[in-house]
Structure 1
Amino acid sequence: MKTWVLPFLLCLCLVCVPARAEDSGSLQESLQQEHRRADQREMEVRKLTEKAGELSTSLSGIENDIASLLERIRKQETVLQEIRKNERATRQEHFALEQEKQRIAKELSGLVRTLWPVHLQSAHSRFEGVDSWDTFDRRFNWLADIYNATRAKFEEARVNSERIASNLERQRTLEKEAEAQLDQVNTTKDRLLDRKYALRKNLRSVTRKRDDAEAELSSILSAIQSLKYQLQSQKTKRFSHHKRTLPWPVQGRLVAGFNPNANPPVRGLAISTQDAASVSSVFWGKVVHNDTLRGFGHVIIVYHGNDYYSLYAFLSETHVTNGQEVEKDEPLGLAGYYPLVDGPGLYFELRFHQKPINPKLWLTSTQ
């Protein structure tokens, strides 16, 4: 071997060894970084898993609450149906008793008309015209029969009157029981509706579903309709009988009217108002939604019975609570900022079976 080769190889070794050591250190650092990233991802996954578990537990709890409330409503409505059945039977009994009363009065009137002239004649003439014991006996027995029949009919009328009074008291008792039971049913339905709202919000946060405003409103109305609320006011006040007589919900200027074929559709009335104008319910009903709603700001929905609803949107303040029954013209809240009118205003809708109907056909012609 030539003498210059060995020194060359030694130099080459001295150059190459540090280079391999440097590559090894760089690789080790890269591996450590990857390990740290993996650990960080594992922690994130663990946190997400825990959060998902908590959310799953929360949803499960809400669903269990809903199932329990549905069962309670079923039992409460069974009791209410039984009370209603007894009410109907009691009213039918009252109708029969009134008919019996009329029959008794008619028969008693006939007996009195027959008896009274004879009684007067006997009182004045005593026994004139009686020429034999047989005649006297026949007249006496006949009068006795008439008196007895009249007395019996009076007694029948007295018993009938007592039964009518008892029946009316029974009707009043059943009516109170029905009202109390209906309050219990509606209170449970209010709680169920709250739980359904909570479930819906949680599910939306899980799925990140981006419903448009109309779809979200339809979802809310569908949840309300499924509860089949009965209202105390429905007994005497039916929304469908008040077309063109409802008061306007707020004082102001109409900016846009009902036009479902427009682009975008206008499903209600846009009203420009004074700042903090008072907004009132247009009819007797029950507050079934009092919360923000995407696209509508803060919204109150009032259920009026028989699938009629009114909606009041872009409120700055509310005076009522979910589940509260309200009177016609009762203040619900204050008008807030309404983007369409670029100032204070109210968006107002009427719906039947969840579908928008023209409010101007229901409200009085003038503000």
Structure 2
Amino acid sequence: MLRHLLPITLIICLLAGTAMSQDQSEVLSETLQQEHQRADENEAKVRELTRKAGQISTQLTDIEHDVALLQRKIRKQEAALNEIKEHEKKARQDHFALEEEKQRITLELSGLMKTLWPVHLQNVRSRFEGVDSWDMFDRRFNWLAGIYDATSRKLTEAKANSEEIAANLEHQRTLAIEAEQQLAQVNKSKDRLLNNKYALRKNLKQIRKKRQDAESELTDILAAIEDLKYQLQSQKTKRFSLYKRTLPWPVQGRLVSGFNPKATPPVRGLIISAAEGAQVQSVFWGKIVHNDTLRGFGHVVIVYHGYDYYSLYAYLSDTFVRNGQEVEKDEPLGVAGYCPKADGPGLYFELRFHQKPINPKTWLTASK
């Protein structure tokens, strides 16, 4: 192979049978040995590169296989979650029906008691005075017995209804726990899937040497996250779109530059100058979906807030959170680091909806 690529002058000398001195023969022999050694080294490098390429290819195949398995697993988990939610919906409908039945029973029982109670008091006071004949007594007795019996049946019905309502509420509580556990399993699988997609993206980028600018790389990341369609526990009671102009600022400091997507280059967020070691906090309840370096942004934390809303915190010198962690509003995420456009400690902050940047100042409190 490579060892046959000898210098042309040496090959000519050999073919021509040129007479050589002993010194020349020694030089030729040494040169040949060097060429053989270099060829062997090159062959070894080629074999090593081939081995590494095979390892990378195997790793990528394993990751791709795991991604496919996780996607199928998530589909099944989400189907189970949707089934639980349907059961919850049915249980709530049953509860409303039981409550309506309770109101009907209560009204009927109230009517019976209004009829029965005055008669009962009259009988207690008069002890059946004014009853002239056995037939009249029998009629009154049978009439009262009928009312007593109807009242007794209605009380039994009311008791059964009350027990059904209690059982329904317990069933709803059990379903809520199942839904929460199932949602946790779904999100755990999605966390693993997201990490695998990150690993796959990084490996493919290394192999293909694909260059991407900061915006396209961020868009790719958000697209991968959006594709997972995370559902968060906080979404049940806290919807991001309802908190416009009420969100806290992510860090205490001075606004250096505002949102200006038409500038050159575009400014898709806010640049905030901050004190050394200033703490950065989440502006809303959500889930950590990215905690890593990002070209053009330094170390970045991205929080998904549900319903396709994201917040991005860039140029952090340290972080306190991990991927997959759910965070509270105002929960510390990290420490502001060196922000180039702030010419010192600071934060670059973005809000995005469906991957597209939106003006954070229309969402934050007007305190700056």
AA partner of residue 311 (structure 1): L
Query: How many Å apart are 1:83 and its aligned residue?
Result: 1.7
Q: Measure the CA separation in 1 of the matches of 2:82 and 2:267.
A: 41
The residue number in structure 2 matching 1:105 is 106
Query: How many Å apart are 1:161 and its aligned residue?
Result: 0.5
From 7, 18, 21, the equivalent of 2:19 is: 21
Query: How many Å apart are 1:132 and its aligned residue?
Result: 2.4
The residue number in structure 2 matching 1:272 is 273
AA partner of residue 65 (structure 1): D
Where does 1:1-367 land on structure 2 (aligned, <5 Å)?
A: 20-21=18-19, 38-367=39-368
Q: Measure the CA separation in 1 of the matches of 2:17 and 2:102.
A: 120
AA partner of residue 190 (structure 2): K
Structure 1 segments unaligned to the other structure (5+ residues): 1-17
1:195-249 alpha-carbon deviations (Å, 9 max, x no partner): 1111110000001111000100011111111111111111111111111111111
Among all aligned residue pairs of Structure 1 and Structure 2, give the percentage whose two residues are the same amino acid. Answer: 70
SS of corresponding position for 1:121: helix
AA partner of residue 238 (structure 1): R
Q: Measure the CA separation in 1 of the matches of 2:119 and 2:311.
A: 71
Q: Measure the CA separation in 2 of the matches of 1:129 and 1:226.
A: 85
Query: How many Å apart are 1:32 and its aligned residue?
Result: 7.0
TM-score relative to the length of structure 2: 0.90
AA partner of residue 280 (structure 1): Q
Q: Measure the CA separation in 2 of the matches of 1:120 and 1:352.
A: 71
The residue number in structure 2 matching 1:9 is none
Q: Measure the CA separation in 2 of the matches of 1:110 and 1:352.
A: 58
The residue number in structure 2 matching 1:14 is none
Q: Measure the CA separation in 2 of the matches of 1:21 and 1:268.
A: 79
Query: How many Å apart are 1:46 and its aligned residue?
Result: 2.0
AA partner of residue 228 (structure 2): L
Q: Measure the CA separation in 2 of the matches of 1:238 and 1:363.
A: 15
The residue number in structure 1 matching 2:3 is none
Q: Measure the CA separation in 2 of the matches of 1:166 and 1:28.
A: 96
AA partner of residue 235 (structure 2): Q
Deviates more, 1:311-320 or 1:38-47: 38-47
Query: How many Å apart are 1:54 and its aligned residue?
Result: 1.0
Q: Measure the CA separation in 1 of the matches of 2:315 and 2:150.
A: 75
1:52-80 alpha-carbon deviations (Å, 9 max, x no partner): 11110111111122122222222222222
SS of corresponding position for 2:228: coil
SS of corresponding position for 2:352: strand
Structure 2 segments unaligned to the other structure (5+ residues): 1-15
Q: Measure the CA separation in 2 of the matches of 1:192 and 1:61.
A: 13
The residue number in structure 1 matching 2:6 is none
Q: Measure the CA separation in 2 of the matches of 1:240 and 1:82.
A: 27
Query: How many Å apart are 1:288 and its aligned residue?
Result: 0.6
SS of corresponding position for 1:21: coil
Q: Measure the CA separation in 2 of the matches of 1:307 and 1:70.
A: 20
Q: Measure the CA separation in 1 of the matches of 2:219 and 2:282.
A: 21
1:69-99 alpha-carbon deviations (Å, 9 max, x no partner): 2222222222222222221111111111111
Query: How many Å apart are 1:48 and its aligned residue?
Result: 1.8
Q: Measure the CA separation in 2 of the matches of 1:69 and 1:291.
A: 22
SS of corresponding position for 1:317: strand
Q: Measure the CA separation in 1 of the matches of 2:260 and 2:104.
A: 60
AA partner of residue 227 (structure 1): L
1:321-347 alpha-carbon deviations (Å, 9 max, x no partner): 111110110001100000001100001
Q: Measure the CA separation in 2 of the matches of 1:71 and 1:338.
A: 42
- Aligned residue pair count: 350
Q: Measure the CA separation in 2 of the matches of 1:183 and 1:350.
A: 26
Query: How many Å apart are 1:22 and its aligned residue?
Result: 5.6
TM-score relative to the length of structure 1: 0.90
Deviates more, 1:134-143 or 1:243-252: 134-143
SS of corresponding position for 2:273: strand
Query: How many Å apart are 1:31 and its aligned residue?
Result: 7.3
